[in-house]
């Protein structure tokens, strides 16, 4: 039985992906920029089962057998790998996350990045990083950004061939820390796959997408020049723009909780007081507070004392998806 195991980090987007040009290929409406999160990971082992009697793929997540839509999504992804490798076998997938799934820390990103690497290697394929990123994108758009390491840009592209992510700076380029204020680890009610499909119903989405090249330029430059003030302005503006689209879609999507705004306001006040920190929020209530490493201890303490914050995790820039020992 051919097995392989891989580890991938989730990532936090500084310029966000929201909405697709093509839903089935997960071709995004706009490019995005993110940082991988060291210390948080999905570790996935896959075995292609040579027993031809097994008719179904199986998935175990954190020790629990998974069926239904989540398994179907993994099977659909594995169909792509079977097609590429000319394989007619079912797979056993065993996956672990060391962070809560489905609450604004993109677990689908690390999950499909790890699965893309492990499943192709176990099938005897050795894809170059761009091709692996394109494949991961088919499982979850943001997963394409968890293939390369450090600070990453996903070029939107116009077709399956030219829509993938690449490193713009290695992890050690800028010691930023993502201090994650976890308000809830419950599974979100509207997942991002359904959310992307609603983006176009907001009259604000076209403006957000048309302005994306400008935001990408500002964000890329701020990262390359390690200019925190410029970085903070564009990261907060971009997150707020995405939530403006979400809250004006039909039906509208409200991911924030009262604690979300409390953290955003406290961080804004801290920044006005000279602390290099800013916030960004994905499709969930948790707040990612991005700060420089020198301020991280202070920020962790400050964020942890805000009512509604149940747990705080901190992560620096992480490396690429990689193979690990099969246990
Ligand atoms: O990759 P998806 O379909 O889970 O979408 C991710 C969407 C956001 O996390 C809200 C933004 C982003 O760019 O990561």
In 3D, which of 189, 280, 168, 188 has the Cα closest to residue 232?
280
Q: How far is CA 68 from the centre of its chain?
A: 22
For ligand 1, whether the C-beta of 141 sits within 6 Å is yes
Give the Å distance between the CA of 142 and the centre of ligand 1.
5
Q: Classify domain 2-172 at the CATH class level.
A: alpha beta
For ligand 1, whether the C-beta of 155 sits within 6 Å is no
For ligand 1, whether the C-beta of 142 sits within 6 Å is yes
Task: State residue 186's pLDDT score.
Answer: 67
Name the residue ranges covered by the structural domains of the chain. 2-172, 175-316
**148 is written with which tokens?**
């390369």
In 3D, which of 32, 3, 9 has the Cα closest to residue 171?
9
Ranges of residues in the chain whose predicted pLDDT is under 50:
102-103
The preferred substitution site among 13, 14, 17 for testing ligand 1, maximizing ligand atoms within 8 Å of CB, is 17
**Dihedral angle at the C-alpha atoms of 172, 290, 288, 59, nearest 10 degrees?**
0
Task: State residue 100's pLDDT score.
Answer: 66
For ligand 1, whether the C-beta of 57 sits within 6 Å is no
Helix (H, G, I), strand (E, B) or coil at 38: coil
Strands (E), 115-175: 151-155, 164-169
Q: What is the DSSP string of 79-101?
A: HHHHHHHT---EEEEEEEESS-S
Residue-wise pLDDT for 150-180, tens only, equals 999 999 999 999 999 999 999 999 999 999 9
Show Cβ contacts of residue 189 under 8 Å, excluding neighbours closer than 6 positions: none
Residue-wise pLDDT for 186-235, tens only, equals 666 778 889 999 999 999 999 999 999 999 999 999 999 999 999 999 99
175-316: CATH topology:
Alpha-Beta Plaits (3.30.70)
Neighbours of 296 (CB within 10 A): 19
């Amino acid at each position: 039985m051919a097995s392989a195991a891989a580890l991938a980090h989730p990532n936090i987007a500084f310029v966000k992906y929201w909405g697709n040009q093509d839903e089935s290929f997960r071709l995004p409406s706009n490019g995005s920029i993110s940082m991988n999160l060291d210390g948080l990971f999905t570790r996935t082992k896959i075995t292609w089962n040579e027993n031809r009697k097994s008719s179904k793929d199986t998935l175990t997540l954190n020790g629990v057998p998974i069926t239904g839509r989540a398994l179907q999504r993994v099977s659909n992804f594995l169909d792509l790998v079977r097609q590429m490798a000319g394989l007619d076998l079912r797979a056993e997938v065993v996956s672990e996350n060391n962070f809560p799934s489905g609450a604004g820390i993109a677990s689908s990103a690390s999950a499909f990045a790890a699965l893309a690497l492990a499943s192709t290697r176990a099938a005897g394929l050795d894809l170059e990083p761009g091709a692996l990123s394109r494949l991961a994108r088919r499982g979850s758009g943001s997963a394409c950004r968890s293939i390369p390491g450090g600070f990453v840009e996903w070029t939107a592209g116009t077709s399956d061939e030219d829509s993938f992510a690449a490193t713009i700076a290695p992890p050690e380029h800028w010691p930023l820390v993502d201090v994650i204020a976890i308000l809830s680890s419950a599974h979100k009610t509207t997942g991002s796959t359904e959310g992307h499909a609603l983006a176009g119903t907001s009259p604000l989405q076209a403006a957000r997408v048309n302005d994306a090249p400008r935001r990408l330029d500002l964000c890329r430059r701020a990262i390359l020049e390690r200019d925190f003030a410029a970085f903070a302005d564009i990261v907060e503006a971009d997150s707020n723009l995405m939530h403006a689209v979400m809250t004006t879609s039909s039906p509208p999507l409200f991911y924030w909780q009262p604690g979300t705004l409390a953290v955003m306001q406290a961080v804004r006040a801290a920044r006005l007081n000279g602390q290099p920190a800013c916030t960004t929020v994905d499709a969930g209530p948790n707040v990612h507070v991005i700060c420089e490493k020198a301020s991280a201890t202070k920020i962790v303490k400050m964020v942890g004392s805000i009512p509604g914050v149940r747990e705080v995790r901190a992560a620096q820039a992480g490396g690429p998806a990689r193979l690990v020992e099969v246990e």
